[in-house]
Chains A and B, each alone.
Chain A
């Protein structure tokens, strides 16, 4: 069964450093998403991406965040200057269509900012 993959599984970085979290969505999917989950809290929407541009973003997704699909398979989330409060699990998801059925989630990247 096809699945969304994410690398790395765990990333430790110092405050102020840039990080790039990587995702490989399911190959025939066209819609891509990033979510985050602070430990013990609910999953929060960050951004959705379609046709090489952001289609929606939340108030969490400020200027420190950016997304990119650098090639035909990868989808990345960059945090330009990490803060302690960016520590969380970051989930990538993809779907065939935004209005029909489920988004498939990857296993997540645990980001720890020290």
Chain B
């Protein structure tokens, strides 16, 4: 069935530390994955994506790692800042028109 889930519901980190948010997916046929950030009262905001033919992709302060063997996705945020506090969702592209979202992890950044 459709299942994209997150291991940790809440992650607390100190400002300046690196954060790692994890996601497990179930559809081995998925070929495209996206991380979204959702701040309170706002819609999901695209952070970074990765295709299944890649293992790693880097953006500005963010890195996404994909392990297809164990169907695991992670988002690494370097030097976490207070503005990074939000809920983070992984999403899986089921076919061209449909995103399946994971449950979400709340990232809390402490000074």
B42 at the interface (CB under 8 A from A): yes
List residues of chain A with CB within 8 A of the CB of B42. Answer: 107-108
Q: Which of A33, A43, A91, A99 has the most CB of B within 10 A?
A: A43
A77 vs chain B, min Cβ distance (A): 14
Q: Could you say which interface size class chain B belongs to?
A: 20 to 34
The answer to whether B97 touches A48, judged by C-beta atoms less than 8 angstroms apart, is yes
Per-residue 0/1 for B87-110: is the Cβ within 8 Å of any A Cβ (1 yes, 0 no)? 001010001111111111000000
Q: 16 interchain pairs (CB within 8 A)?
A: A31-B97, A33-B97, A35-B99, A35-B101, A43-B101, A45-B98, A48-B98, A56-B95, A58-B98, A98-B97, A102-B49, A103-B46, A104-B46, A105-B44, A107-B42, A108-B43
Which B residues lie at the A interface, using CB under 8 A? 32, 34, 36, 38, 41-46, 49, 89, 91, 95-104
